[in-house]
Amino acid sequence: MSGPVAFFFKRQWLVYTAAILLRFALLVYGRWQDSNSPVKYTDIDYLVFTDAARYVSVGRSPYDRATYRYTPLLAWLLYPTTWGGPWFEFGKCLFAFGDILTGFLIARFLTEQAGFSKDRALKYASIWLLNPMVANISTRGSSEGLVVAMVVPILLQALRGRIWICGFLLGVAVHVKIYPFIYAAAVFWWLGPKSRDSVKTNQSNFSKISWPETARELVNKQRQSLVISSALAFTLLNGVMFNAYGMPFIKHTYLYHFTRLDHRHNFSVYNTVLHLNSAYPSQASDLRVESLAFIPQLLLAVVAIPLVCAKKDLAGSMLAQTFAFVTFNKVCTSQYFLWYMVFLPFYLPYSSFMRRPKLGVSALVLWILGQAAWLQQGYELEFLGHSTFLPGLWVASAGFYLINCWILGVIVADVAARAS
């Protein structure tokens, strides 16, 4: 490839400057929209974060702010927002920095682990760095950019063989946001024999191997290191937070998510059922969907996909796990899409979507149209006051769910077909 595009990607400073300018422009525009439009650019969650930071700044608990469901670390990190004036934007800048750091780590991974040239690595890293959806979400004040900045190093350190660091980062990431716990299964399984051939060899010699030797192989030193380091980091952080804030920390940071009934801005196929349960709690069944929804989600994301994919390609497995976790989650907002989008640069180079452009374009168009259909129904509900829960919103949710299931099937098939 020659011309302006090749020139652009051969100069790293141009790519990163463009990524920074994109986010800066959105921050400036966001301030203007917040001041001049009834529809605010700043995410409501950011107001929750900054309110919690104000409580912390005067020696109170962040959980004194209703609907704060996050680690106190987030409120502490946003302490500068309490200084007033332009410092209110500090958190958005921090989250945008997380985006840029993540893009840098993606490019580093592709050159170090995949053997890409720097310009080719930057092209794929730009799927994240120059993605307007990614930049929009972080500059609106969503903390997902900071979360994924902790997830990519987990993958990178695992592939470098630095399992203690990998486990420590995993423990910290799970403390900050629960969902990265699914990666423990993939990394744990990946740390065993690296190919099915070796597994078959072990099985053929099973009669020659004693049970103690089998147990040692199952729980090898690397797997022990992963478990111990992640457990230590997670336990230490939770111990400090529990000592500072007591049961409200446990209740709001962890327990709340098992019974949450959020149905606003929720793309999930469970959306309508959650709305009905929240509207008519006395008529809800004892077998509540907000508790049962975890079963298929975890069977796929924590058991089936790691067993099939982790030894083939750890990054691909983490993508498939995350895609399944988000698709089958009872709450699914646009911020959650960033959880799996960060893995696309690792998967797309060998994917069916790139080998067969028509398939890739079809998947992208359907994914966008699925969201557009839901957003149209959501707009009528929230802004026009029309009751669109049935059939409109439910049909849109089901359609988007089926589209994502199809895409997930392609991803799993691609990863499972890779040579170990």
Residue 110 placed within a domain: no
Q: For residue 391, is the peptide bond before it cis, meaning its omega torsion is within 30 degrees of 0?
A: yes
Question: Are 298 and 355 part of one and the same domain?
Answer: yes
Q: Which of 281-285, 389-393, 415-419 has the lowest mean pLDDT?
A: 281-285
Let me know: does 354 contact 345? Beta carbons within 8 Å: no
If you average pLDDT over every residue of the chain, what do you get?
89
Neighbours of 295 (CB within 10 A): 10
Provide the pLDDT for residue 216: 72
Task: Taking residues 333-361, report their average pLDDT.
Answer: 96
Q: How many domains does the chain have?
A: 2
Using an 8 Å Cβ cutoff, are 157 and 166 in contact?
Answer: yes
- Tokens 């709340």 correspond to 256
What's the pLDDT score for residue 200? 46
Domain that holds residue 187: 144-259
In angstroms, the CA 389 to CA 370 distance is 16
One-letter amino acid of 121: A
Which tokens is 179 given?
Answer: 């969902």
**Domain boundary residue, one of 226, 259, 292:** 259
Neighbours of 96 (CB within 10 A): 26
pTM of the model: 0.91
At 178, which amino acid appears? Answer: I
Contact criterion met (CB below 8 Å) for 124 and 106 = yes
Residue 315 — pLDDT band, cuts 50, 70, 90? very high
Q: Are residues 188 and 266 in the same domain?
A: no
Give the tokens for residue 163.
């399992």
Same domain, 280 and 409: yes
Percent of the chain with pLDDT over 70: 88
Biggest CA-to-CA distance, the chain: 76
Does residue 420 sit within a domain?
yes
Going by C-beta distance under 8 Å and a sequence separation of 6 or more, which residues neighbour residue 211?
none
Under 8 Å between Cβ of 165 and 142:
no
Looking at 235, 259, 283, the residue that finishes a domain is 259
| Lowest-pLDDT choice from 52-56, 270-274, 375-379 | 270-274
pLDDT in tens, 288-310: 666 677 899 999 999 999 999 99
Say if CB 145 and CB 137 are below 8 A apart: yes
Dihedral sign, Cα of residue 310, residue 312, residue 316, residue 319: negative
386 lies in the same domain as 292? yes
What is residue 388's predicted lDDT score, i.e. its pLDDT? 74
CA distance 331 to 299: 17
